[in-house]
A and B are shown apart, each in its own frame.
Chain A
Amino acid sequence: MELILQSIINGLIQGGLYALFAVGLVMIFGVMGVVNFAHGELVMAGAYTIWYLHAQQGLGYLPTVVVAVVLVTLIGLLMERFLFRPTRNDPLAGLICSIGMLFILQVIATLIGGEGPSKQVPPVFQGTLVVFDFLRIPNQRIFALVISVAALVTLWYFLARTKLGWALRAVALDREASALQGININRISMIAIGVGAGMAGLAGALMAPLTNINPHMGHNVIITAFIVTIVGGVGSLSGAVLAAILYALFHTFMTVYFGGTIATISGLLLMVLVLIIKPTGIMGVRISE
């Protein structure tokens, strides 16, 4: 019982982080039609910023989180302007370009941090919250949960309540019709990837003290993001958030009982299953051609 409750808590916290980067992937795919294979590397860039500026250079954690978000947003904007905009009519070309970017970001990380063992960032918020005498939640994880929920709520507000958010959703639904309505596609693409990359950077910054940091950490991130995106339904943001939480719970439990590799295998099989049975995902709507 204690183990189960503890796993649920851990899963929920993990789910918040999954949702942060998966939502970005969904937005970029929805608005620009391109699968950003370098999304995991954006998370990695966020984590590396924390490691370099905070753990190495001694800058405060919170300012560094802001720097990480800004930096990764900038990387995203550059990718949009120089990679995705020229290849907009060819989704495969955009995908290939993002793979090229993946290599470049990994090498930059290697040059900054060097090869060798994974880096650790010591927890900033010491102490552990103890509930009911047996549930232990490190404050660092609580911080990550609070910030990711806040970011997701802000994103929801932006998309649901602001004009710009409506424009963004309109472009995701139908790019040409939106352009005819006078929506500036380039600007909306910039916003989509800016927000998407920024959230990936935030996820990386929040994960930094909780995980091992190395140039190849993006690999697991992108696998998770794909699973979450597919299970949630491609193009559905609420689906992605729900799927992120469900998948995180699933993954946490599988890891506890069967180990990490089996957990990832079953996650991948789950995704293939969803693709077979309900390709539109749990929250997706069928888009007619």
Chain B
Amino acid sequence: MNMLIRSIVGLIILIVLLIVPHFLEFHHQDLLIFLTINVLVVASYRLVTLTGEWSLIHAVMMGVGGYTATLLFLNYELGMWFTLPTAGLLSAAVAALLCFPLLRMTQFYFLIGSFAAGEAIRLVWIQFLDPFGGTGGLSGVSPPMIGDIDFMDPIPYYYLALTVVSICLFLLYRIEKSRVGLTLHSVHWKAPLAESVGVDTWRYRALAFITGSFFVGIAGALKVHYIGTITPNQYGIGFMVFILIWVIVGGYNKFYGPIIGVIVLTMFDESIRGFDEIRPAIYGAVLILSILFLPLGLESIPGKLKAWFIGSEVVEPPLTDE
């Protein structure tokens, strides 16, 4: 029965995802693509946070992927089939190098350390005009053409992005539910206990950090192939803060929490489009209110409603399966 309901819900979601771009105007189709990419960004960030460490370098890692794809495309005219995985691999490689200094730290130190490392990378992009193009960044990246399909159009590119992101999400979900994922949970909630049974916490934190960076690198390449330009400021602390907001407002205890967060907030963002000047303040207020009154995020609302109607106290376990 449960299985049946799930399949039906899954099917409905799939159909909606497939037909939705045809009912949108051009501007919203654009937005839909960014939203699809951002879903991958938050889902990969969640993998990093599974070990309980909040990094501030995720946005820059996306930029590493973006710059990789840009440079490969501009200098060697390599197509997307090549730049996409390479961008992921290079982000992962940079993350692997950063593991040595960064993962010596935890908590506050890790937060600040990752922020500093990210900012240093970003300033390198600003400083070295060749090859990174400085503050103005680089432009001229174009999406592929396969036969007659020009991926410059939003709709084909949306399907492309949707495919890539779906594959990545599936992999991320499998990782989280695998033995490795469960170990990551254990590193977060019971690090000393995990160590006592032989889990090398450093290795698992590194694994989460590197894998998360791999997927966000792919997201960066996906983005740059669509918009065609890349600048250091796209991946600054501003974007990082948005990632944090999406994850926290959505709720980071469940796999789909951050995804709900990014979808709801993107729609919310679109609905306050008229108030461009005060938009950041509205965001700030939403962030504060959700932390104060909904600390477990949007995904906790159904459980709360259930508890309210049925009258029983729903205990939120920190480590949940479904």
Do A and B share a complex?
yes
A residues sitting closer than 8 Å to B (CB atoms) are 29, 35, 83, 86-87, 90-93, 95-97, 99-104, 106-108, 110-111, 115, 219, 223, 226-227, 229-230, 234, 259, 261-262, 264-265, 268-269, 271-272, 275-276, 279
Is B115's CB under 8 angstroms from A106's CB?
no
Q: Nearest 9 CB-CB pairs, A to B?
A: A103-B284, A107-B281, A100-B284, A100-B287, A100-B288, A103-B280, A268-B120, A104-B284, A268-B116
Most chain B C-beta atoms within 10 Å of own C-beta, residue among A108, A111, A272? A272
Which residue in chain A gives the minimum CB-CB distance to B237? A219
CA A227 to CA B123, docked complex, whole Å: 15
A104 near B104 with CB under 8 A, answer no
Residues of A within 8 A of B126 (CB): 261
Between A and B, 21 residue pairs with Cβ closer than 8 Å are A35-B112, A83-B292, A86-B292, A92-B54, A93-B291, A96-B248, A96-B287, A99-B287, A100-B284, A106-B281, A107-B278, A107-B284, A219-B237, A226-B116, A265-B123, A265-B127, A268-B116, A271-B112, A271-B113, A272-B120, A276-B104
B-side residues, CB < 8 A to A, are 54, 101, 104-105, 107-109, 111-113, 115-117, 119-120, 123-124, 126-127, 237, 241, 244-245, 248, 277-278, 280-281, 283-288, 291-292, 295
With A107-B281, A227-B116 as known contacts, state yes or no: A279 contacts B109, CB within 8 Å: yes
Residues of B within 8 A of A91 (CB): 107-108
A36–B291 CA distance with the chains assembled, in angstroms: 15
Complex alpha-carbon distance, A108 and B124, angstroms: 31
Write out the residue numbers on chain B whose beta carbons fall within 8 Å of the beta carbon of A264.
Answer: 119, 123
Closest to B277 in A: A110
Cβ-defined partner of A93 (8 Å) among B113, B115, B286, B295:
B295
| B284 A99 Cβ-Cβ under 8 A | yes
Q: Are B277 and A107 in contact, CB atoms less than 8 angstroms apart?
A: yes
Are B119's CB and A268's CB within 8 A?
Answer: yes
B54: nearest chain-A partner, CB-CB: A92
CA distance A95 to B55 in the complex (A): 13
With A and B bound together, what is the CA distance between A265 and B105 in angstroms? Answer: 20
List 11 other contacts, CB 8 Å, given A103-B280, A261-B126, A271-B113.
A97-B292, A99-B244, A99-B287, A103-B287, A104-B285, A107-B280, A115-B277, A264-B123, A269-B120, A272-B120, A279-B105
Instruction: Name the CB-closest residue of A to B117.
Output: A272
Contacts of B113 in A (CB 8 A): 271-272, 275
Question: Closest residue to B119 on the A side, CB-wise?
Answer: A268
Closest A residue to B252 using CB positions:
A92
A229 and B292 CA atoms in complex are apart in Å by: 28
Q: Which of A111, A219, A268 has the most CB of B within 10 A?
A: A268
Which residues of A have CB within 8 Å of B101?
Answer: 272, 275-276
Contacts of A104 in B (CB 8 A): 280-281, 284-285
Determine how close the nearest CB of chain B comes to the CB of A225; give it in whole angstroms: 10
Contact of A261 with B123 in the complex, beta carbons under 8 Å: yes
